Amino acid sequence: MKYGHRIAGLRDEKHLTQEELAHKVGITRSALSHYENNRREPDYETIQKIADFFHVSVDYLMGRDEAPSQTPDPNASEFVSQLELSDQAVLDKFALMIDGRELTSEEAMRFIHFIRAQRSSS
């Protein structure tokens, strides 16, 4: 699948016109039409803007990857950066990994206690 079909498909999923998407990423409607119809290839800056807008990878748009590999939503990233690891609900919901292996609840709690001990001895 060519990048044009991916861009058009993502635009359709969001129920956007070409004019609306073009405005949101700072290009002309005619340029977007050329991209969607595979008549022109967007430059890297433009393809990055489109990928960022749809929260997908450039590789997905260019057809090098079949999974969109969505980038984290900025609100989700902010939420995750503020998690309190001592909250058992968080530990139950999210997998903590070290060296590719998931920590057990007991290991996660020991990790939290270790960090607290390090901080209190500083």
CATH number at residue 51: 1.10.260.40
Q: How buried is residue 56: exposed, middle or buried, by Cβ count under 10 Å (0-12/13-18/19+)?
A: buried
User: What is the pTM (predicted TM-score) of this model?
Assistant: 0.55
Q: Which domain holds residue 116?
A: 83-121
Q: Is residue 69 part of a domain?
A: no
Q: Is residue 20 part of a domain?
A: yes
Average of per-residue pLDDT across 48-76: 78
- Structurally, the chain folds into a number of domains equal to 2
- Using pLDDT thresholds of 50, 70 and 90, give the confidence band for residue 69: low
pLDDT at 19 over 90: yes
Residues 14 and 46 in one domain: yes
Average of per-residue pLDDT across 2-23: 93
Residues 56 and 88 in one domain: no
Tokens of 85: 């690891």
